[in-house]
Amino acid sequence: MCMEQAARKNIIQQLQKEILALQGFKASCGNDKLNTGLGLIERSFPNYSFPTGAIHELLSYSEPDAAATNGFLAALLSRLMAKGARAIWISHKQHLFAAGMSAFNVMPDQLIFIEVQKEKDLLWATEEALKCDAIAAVITECSDLSFEASRRLQLAVEHSRVTGFIHRYMPKKNNPTASVTRWRITCLPSMTDENIPGLGFPVWNIELQKVRNGTPGTWQLGWTTEGFNHIQVNKPIAQPYLRKVV
Amino acid sequence: MLNPIYEKWYSMEERFVTISFHHLLSDRLIRRDALLKDKPFVLVVKQRGRIIVKAVNAVAEQHNIRAGMMLADAKALCPSVTVFQYAEGMEQVLLSKLAEWCLRFSPDVGVASPDSIVINASGCTHLWQGEEKYIDTIARQLNAIGYQVTIALADTIGAAWALSHFTSSSTIIKRGETTTAILSLPPAALRLEDKIIQRMQKLGMYQIRSFIHMPRQVLRRRFGELLLLRLDQVLGIVKEVIEPICPVQPYQERLPSFEPIRTAIGIEIAVRQLLHHLCLRLQKESKGLRRCVLKAYRIDGNVQQAEISTSRPSRDVQHLFKLFEYKIPTIEPALGIELFQLDATIVEALTSEQETLWNIAGNNDSSAIAQLVDNLCIRLGAGAVKRYLPAEHHWPERSVIITHALDEKPSTSWPDHLPRPLHLLQKAQEIIVMVPLPDYPPVHFKYKGAIHKVVKADGPERIEEEWWIEKGMFRDYYCLEDQDGRRYWIYRLGHYDNSEPKWFIHGYFA
């Protein structure tokens, strides 16, 4: 009986892996698994690894939160660009301050910035960039993303295995998209020791609102010079909801 | 002293064509209005209070009206003559347009005032199967659009000019027969001043043969240096060069088409061929192109252009063709294109070591990125793609410089010991603050109507205006965090002196 149960479980695991592969998630073997340093959060993803070669969607509704979201993206970029690869950052306005990026271990001169005025050109440039497999990641800042546009982008990355981040600032409507994840990052009071005055390391509330074939959840994450740092905040903002996927 | 390269160039046997227009200005008017063809008309210009005939048409010429007459005399000869005003510089404009049109016969074309065009036909005539067919084609095509011309082909510009102006039909002088051909021409054929011509006529020198063998010092004493120079130019002893209407591009490929091309596929084939030849040459000379212009000469005289530029020197036909592919729909072939011309306007060194380093022919990362950037630039404009490099300035607006080159390396390192925000506002926005004591951070501030209570603060960090660049007050920067954990970068402009200093918000920390 026990043998039979184990065999059945094995079959289900196998099938789940196949479904993931069909949906564009490549099961990563030990070597090419990206070390994002996200720690606990990685357990929410399919195959327990951060989905590279996929479209991630991030929402922000205020300027400080947009900065926090870009900070989180910059921190992720530092890991994606670890092997000297280059990334492209597409936006419609020039608000990123390159001198502030080195705090996230990103060398701003390794990034290529593209400033596009028209929304249509913005998505076109994103798609072109996502098709180029020589690039580690593409970050696009826009406000709205239709389902069709997100499908196009997702199809482009499934072919090229580039990781795409769509940062939607002040989206007019919260429409469904074909992206693999949807995040919302907001500011939290910074990490300081009780006795030291002044600002500390940034802390963000990371809300994984949607993840395909994974488990959504909320975490508090700090960024220090060593990397991401999970912290215990005295006042819990939302209970982390963690469950094993497979 | 001639440069050895030029000497080699000159040693090539040269052939020149001169096209002499009989009635340049009047043919132009007939082209515009066909009804004028059978009517006598003149173009007049006011000179010293008199109205002088400047140009006549063929019909008026039959009535013995000549250029240089007074209008009153012309009207006496033919009362029905129509009069048009002559505008200053008309023939110059017309000739340079016609010279541009003539570029299809040779890349080296110039204007010889007042009424002719000079073409350097060296090495061009065989493309039209011989010299007779070459000048026939030119004459026929010019006749078809309405210009009456005489064309001469000779070893020197001087001889071609003389024959085209002083013979009634088009002529070709064979190599080395220049001297015999010009003997019977009048001295005016040497492009001399009126004064010299008149003096020669007084002396009974009606033909070149009557003075060509005279001793040089005699001719110099009587007629001046110019006559000797002109004689030498005609005989090819002194070289004469054309002032080209469009300077020949050092990296240029031309592709004439047998039949006018009107389809996109035809243009694509032409572009591929041109790029192939151009890249072969660039390969030989270890060069790569940065900017390239495609010119498509249409049958109706219009020139269509498309320009591409690359972010890094390239001689990859596939890549360059892809850049042109976006531009091909903008080329309007109309009735057809008869000549394609590709000019590499900016060429930079690209050695084969660099090529292997970047693996430009293959599918290397940096070349793929360079190609992507080129594609984006084509649609978005060259300024859209940029990179930021650190600059040695503390003033935040100047601490980062923009570059459009993909390979430029930072000359200094990024500052990492000072707090800098991730978002910087294009223009700092004024805020209203509550400060308990001078040089203290604010307790709360109001921005866009919302009041933010400051919980944590760092600062001040004083950044002085760089007086050698711009005069202004220093800024005292503070990093603030409000009750929700949002982090701001604000500054106070100047001292607390007599008046309250202004406060600004300048950025957001992540």
Tens of pLDDT, residue by residue over B223-271, are: 888 889 988 888 888 888 888 776 665 788 888 888 888 888 999 999 9
Is the pLDDT score of B380 beyond 50? yes
**Rounded distance, CA B43 to CA B55, Å?**
5
**Minimal Cα–Cα distance from A25 to chain B, Å?**
24
Whether B487 and A134 lie within 8 Å, measured CB to CB: no
Asked if A188's CB is within 8 angstroms of B372's CB, the reply is: no
Kindly list the residues from chain B whose CB atom is less than 8 angstroms away from the CB atom of residue A139. none
Chain B residues close to A113, C-beta within 8 Å: 385-388
Residue B330 sits at the chain A interface (C-beta within 8 Å):
no
Please check whether residue B373 touches A, CB under 8 A. Answer: yes
pLDDT of residue B248: 60
Give me the sheet containing B50-56, strands edge to edge. Answer: B50-56, B41-47, B82-85
- Cross-chain Cβ contact B369/A112 below 8 Å: yes
* A102 CB within 8 Å of a chain B CB: yes
Chain B residues with CB inside 8 Å of A102's CB?
414-416
Which residues of B fall within a CB distance of 8 Å from A202? 487, 509-510
User: Judged by CB atoms within 8 Å, which residues 109-138 of A form the interface with B?
Assistant: 109, 111-116, 121, 124-125, 128-129, 132-135
Q: Which of A93, A108, A115 sits opposite B384 (nearest CB)?
A: A115
A125 CB neighbours in chain B (<8 A) are: 376, 379-380
Note whether B487 contacts A188, CB cutoff 8 Å.
no
The 10s digit of each residue's pLDDT in B18-27 is: 999 988 888 8
- pLDDT (tens digit, 9 = 90+) per residue, B397-429? 898 988 887 777 888 888 878 889 999 998 999
Residue of B371, B380, B452, B483 to mutate when probing chain A, most A C-beta within 10 A: B380
The two tokens of residue A135 are 């690039």
Average pLDDT of B451-476?
A: 89
CA distance B174 to B163: 13
Full-model pTM: 0.59
What pLDDT does B3 receive? 42
Two structure tokens written together for B37: 């063809």
Note whether B96 and B113 are within 8 A (CB).
no
- The residue type of B137 is T
Residue A219: its pLDDT value, please? 87
d(CA A105, CA B93): 63
Contact A86 B369 (CB under 8 A): yes
As given in the structure block, the two tokens for residue A223 are 């960024």
DSSP annotation string for B275-307: HHHHHHHHHHTTEEEEEEEEEEEETTS-EEEEE
Q: DSSP states of B76-122 as a string?
A: HH-TT-EEEEPPTTHHHHHHHHHHHHGGGT-S-EEEETTTEEEEE-T
pLDDT at B365: 67
Average pLDDT, rounded, for chain B: 85
B positions 425-464 inside 8 Å of A (CB): 425-426, 455-458
In sign, the C-alpha dihedral spanning A122, A127, A132, A136 is positive
Rg of chain A (C-alpha set): 19
Residue B276 distance to chain A (closest CA, Å): 25
Which among B192, B373, B502, B158 has a CA at the least distance from the CA of A128? B373
Residue B504's pLDDT band, with cuts at 50, 70 and 90, is very high
pLDDT digits (tens, 9 = 90+) for B265-321: 999 999 999 999 998 888 888 888 888 999 999 988 888 999 888 877 888 888 888
pLDDT bracket for residue B489 (50, 70, 90): very high
Q: What is the ipTM of this complex?
A: 0.84
Residues 249-278 in B contacting A (C-alpha not used; CB under 8 Å): none
Cα distance between residue A6 and residue A2, in whole Å: 6
Contacts of A141 in chain B (CB under 8 A): none
Token pair belonging to A15 = 């099938």
Q: What does the alpha-carbon distance between residue B25 and residue B114 come to, in Å, rounded to a whole number?
A: 11
**Calpha distance B182→B194 (Å, rounded):** 19
Q: Rounded to a whole number, what is the distance in Å from the CA of A221 to chain B's nearest CA?
A: 13
Q: Name the pLDDT band for B96 (thresholds 50, 70, 90).
A: confident
Q: What is the mean pLDDT of residues B117-125?
A: 88
Range in B200-209, B353-362, B436-445, B484-493 with the lowest mean pLDDT: B353-362
Average pLDDT estimate for B38-63: 89
Contact A113 B385 (CB under 8 A): yes
pLDDT by residue for chain A (246 residues), tens only, comes to 577 888 888 888 888 878 877 766 665 444 456 677 787 788 888 878 888 888 999 999 999 999 999 999 999 988 888 777 889 999 988 889 998 888 888 888 888 999 998 888 999 999 999 998 888 899 999 988 999 999 999 989 888 888 999 999 999 888 889 899 999 999 988 877 776 778 888 889 999 999 888 888 888 888 887 778 776 544 444 433 334 344
Q: Within chain A, what is the greatest distance between any pair of CA atoms?
A: 65
Q: Which residues of A touch B389 (CB under 8 A)?
A: 109
